[in-house]
Structure 1
Amino acid sequence: MSQKEFKLVECPRDAMQGLHDFISTELKSEYLNLLLQVGFDTLDFGSFVSPKAIPQMADTAEVLDNLDLSGTSTKLLAIVANLRGVEDAVKHKQIHYLGFPFSISETFQQRNTNSSISESLNTVEEMLSLCDKNNKKAVIYLSMGFGNHYGDEWNYEIVEKWADALVGKGVEILSLADTVGVSTPEKIENILPNLIDRFKDTEIGVHLHSAPHERFEKIEAAYNSGVKRIDSALKGFGGCPMAADDLTGNIATEDVIAYLNSRGENLEINMEKWNEAIALSGKIFG
């Protein structure tokens, strides 16, 4: 399997967004420019959301102007939470993907995007139209895709129902997101093969959160399920500030790389640049 078939999505935006102290635009840009040289398929680099909600990402447009895309094949992804964010993001030619968190937990959708699930389905429809007109691709995250801690109903049928609704609207990339770290290898292996088999023309990925001791078994379960798109963050930094304060972190990119290398995947990662990024991350994450 070549790199093009297996997409590694590095998520510095997810790693940085919840940090209390503001990271300077210069330092963010330096870090992202290093990550752009590593060889990832996609870099989830920033978001066009209210600076009141996520103050850390208030300088996303400024950071974007500082990025050197001349020698990289890595594509940029920005997160949006409403149509205003979509309209802001599509103005930037450098951005390839727009990501939208579509929660299948009503409580979390209201909390995260200030809209209901049904309203968000309309947002997705309009987003797809704007992406089409502006030569962008939408990535829709099935947020709370493995369960939630609000008591909202969750089961495999609900996951499939909303996946079906989104694909029916024209979504071509779905990423099943474990927003609060409740995924298990069993859930992953029960949900993903069915989605991949049912939606053969849709790219299905995972954005998992995990405690460190559970990372490898979740990565293995996703791989064995046939997933060819995995989101992760260097050292497993980050989480979702809109979900919980004590959230388990992202899947660590180094664990994904190690696992895929052990399976003989050709990832074409520039380890020298990767190690430089790890060294620089200390200035950001302490």
Structure 2
Amino acid sequence: MSEHKFKIVECPRDAMQGLHNFIPTDLKAEYLNLLLQVGFDTLDFGSFVSPRAIPQLADTAEVLGKLDLSTTNTKLLAIIANLKGVKLAVNHEAISYLGFPFSISETFQQRNTNSSIEQSLATVEEMLSLCAKHNKTAVVYLSMGFGNPYGDEWNYEIVEKWADVLVDKGVEILSLADTVGISTLEKINEILPKLLSKFSHSEIGIHLHSTPAERFEKIEAAYNSGVKRIDSALKGFGGCPMAADDLTGNIATEDVINFLNSKGENLNLNMAKWNEAMVLSGKIFR
């Protein structure tokens, strides 16, 4: 049993964003409202990015207006990719967290946010300033945290260097993101304990992508490293479209729940609402 409660971050935003058929706003809200009643720590529910880049989530502000937060303690997280997105997101009182994908691969940072790593660092600084003014907390994802498919240099020292820089800037929550599903047990076992030890006063989470066959062992490796925050998505839907393998998706939340239950973690989840969400997901992820 861990002394700090384990945080599950359910990620319907990541699951939905790549779907080609537009999910009606009311159906999105119905699904999110069910997930809000399950009792997760955080719901990564939407994003304030260009509708041209992610048309599926162009209705995030409208969806937000349809969410019932009166009977849930789950906090809302929205992804942003630039300062325009930050300025939109901080004006919504219901949002607790702003998430920014900070890539330690220069190539991916350009592809993902159309900016360099240095420009992205400036965005993070502005985001931190605006979050402080609007009572929000920034979550920064170290994307391509386990390597990249572009040939950009990667090693643990690079991961630690950028974690150092971001923590020095005032980032309190870092999530190591395996953007294209190339993490291995060896890398998880090497990197996470070192990060957790060095940045013991920060919250370090993990956002893994995986094939179904490797999900459980990656969850186990992350847990054994001491991590207390994990991102996942119902049925493992979604993931990065740039992953080489079509089977590579998010870690499945039900696998995380089953594993943590087996370890005696007190998750205090409403499984009846979870099962309702599992059924409703069939209308969304066709």
* TM-score, length basis structure 1: 0.98
Aligned to 1:278: 278
Letter in 2 for 1:208: L
Give SS of 2:266's match: coil
- Would the alpha carbon gap of residues 233 and 3 (structure 1) be closer, same or farther in structure 2, given more than 3 Å must change? farther
Aligned to 1:73: 73
Letter in 2 for 1:30: E
Distance in 1 between residues matched to 2:282 and 2:2, nearest whole Å: 31
Give SS of 1:223's match: helix
Give SS of 1:35's match: helix
* TM-score, length basis structure 2: 0.98
Letter in 2 for 1:77: L
Distance in 1 between residues matched to 2:191 and 2:200, nearest whole Å: 14
Please state if 1:161 is matched with 2:193: no
CA RMSD in angstroms comes to 1.3
For the 8 Å contact 1:181–1:247, the answer to whether it is kept is no
Distance in 1 between residues matched to 2:232 and 2:278, nearest whole Å: 14
Give SS of 2:43's match: strand
For the 8 Å contact 2:180–2:242, the answer to whether it is kept is no
Distance in 1 between residues matched to 2:73 and 2:121, nearest whole Å: 31
Shift of 1:185: 1.2
Distance in 2 between residues matched to 1:146 and 1:219, nearest whole Å: 15
Give runs of aligned pairs for residues 219-238 of structure 1, distance below 5 A: 219-238=219-238
Distance in 1 between residues matched to 2:170 and 2:179, nearest whole Å: 24
Residues 85-106 of structure 1: CA deviation (Å, up to 9, x unaligned) = 0000000000000000000000
Distance in 1 between residues matched to 2:68 and 2:144, nearest whole Å: 34
What 5-or-longer segments of structure 2 have no aligned partner?
none
Shift of 1:3: 9.7
Distance in 1 between residues matched to 2:270 and 2:114, nearest whole Å: 40
- Would the alpha carbon gap of residues 175 and 239 (structure 1) be closer, same or farther in structure 2, given more than 3 Å must change? same
Give runs of aligned pairs for residues 1-286 of structure 1, distance below 5 A: 1=1, 5-241=5-241, 246=246, 248-286=248-286
Letter in 1 for 2:101: P
Letter in 1 for 2:78: A
- Would the alpha carbon gap of residues 242 and 86 (structure 1) be closer, same or farther in structure 2, given more than 3 Å must change? farther
Letter in 1 for 2:8: L
Letter in 1 for 2:30: E
4+ residue runs of structure 1 moved beyond 6 angstroms?
Answer: 242-245
For the 8 Å contact 2:146–2:183, the answer to whether it is kept is yes
For the 8 Å contact 1:3–1:268, the answer to whether it is kept is no
Shift of 1:240: 2.4
Give SS of 1:176's match: strand
- Would the alpha carbon gap of residues 4 and 30 (structure 1) be closer, same or farther in structure 2, given more than 3 Å must change? farther
Shift of 1:5: 1.9
Shift of 1:246: 3.7
Residues 55-109 of structure 1: CA deviation (Å, up to 9, x unaligned) = 0000000000000000000000000000000000000000000000000000000
Give SS of 1:43's match: strand
Give SS of 2:79's match: strand
For the 8 Å contact 1:105–1:144, the answer to whether it is kept is yes
> What is the total number of aligned residue pairs between the two structures?
286
Shift of 1:239: 1.2
